[in-house]
Chains A and B, each alone.
Chain A
C-alpha cells in the first residue's frame, strides 16, 4: 500500500470499551499527527510525534492515549470515551515537523461512542 492508511475505517464503541486506532504511513516520513474532525468545526490538532518523540499534546483528555513505536506507525488508544468524542479521527504524516513540510492525510476513522 502507498500513502497513509488508517484502520479501522469505522468504529462503534460503548463508553466503557477500550479500543485502538491504527495509522501507518509508507512515505518514509518522520513526523506523524492525530487530528479530530467534528461536524461544523475546524480540524483540531491532538498530538504530534517527530522521530518517535511526542512534541505536542494539545490539551487532550487522558482518555486518549497516543503511541508511536516507530516512525511508520501511530496508534491512538481509547478508553472510557464520552459521546461528544464521536468524530472523524484523521492521521497525517510529513517529512518532519515544520510549516514548509506538506502533511499527507489518511482517510480517517469514523468513531461513534454510544
Chain B
C-alpha cells in the first residue's frame, strides 16, 4: 500500500520569500508523484507531476519539485511567493501500473503574508 506524509499542516511565509513544502511517501512499488493546489472555494488543480526522466520537475505559477528516490521525497519549492499563492497544497502518489488511484496527503496550508 502507498501512503503520503505532509508533516507541515501550515506554513506561514512573507511575500517574496522562498518556500518549501515537504512531502514524503511510502510505497513498495514505483510510483508517479503529483502536487495539487486548492484555492479557497475551488476544486483541486494540478501544479506538476513526476512520471519519469529528470528528477527536477517544473510546474505552473513558478513552482518546481524534486523527486528524491533514496529519501522517498517530493518537496515543492518556489523561490519567491506572492500573496496569490495562499492556498492548500496536496501531494499525491499513484502506482506505476494500471491503477488510477491517487493517494493524497493531508495537505499543507501555505499562508503568504504581506
Contacts and interface: CB of A to CB of B under 8 A. Distances in A.
A99 B43 contact: no
Contact of A90 (B41, B44, B100, B105): B44
B106 A99 contact: no
Interface of A: 4, 31, 40-43, 45, 48, 56, 90, 92, 94, 97-108
Interface residues of B, number: 27
Given A56-B101, A99-B96, A99-B97, 13 more contacts: A42-B90, A42-B106, A42-B107, A48-B100, A90-B43, A92-B44, A94-B100, A99-B100, A99-B102, A102-B46, A103-B46, A105-B36, A106-B43
19 contacts: A4-B43, A42-B4, A42-B104, A42-B105, A42-B107, A43-B104, A48-B100, A92-B43, A94-B100, A98-B98, A99-B32, A99-B94, A99-B98, A99-B99, A99-B100, A102-B46, A102-B49, A106-B43, A107-B42
Residue of A43, A56, A97, A105 ringed by the most chain B CB atoms within 10 A = A43
Residue among B32, B42, B95, B100 with the highest chain A CB neighbour number at 10 A: B100
Contacts of A43: 44, 90, 102, 104
Contacts of A102: 46, 49
A contact patch SS? loop
Interface in B63-114: 90, 94-107
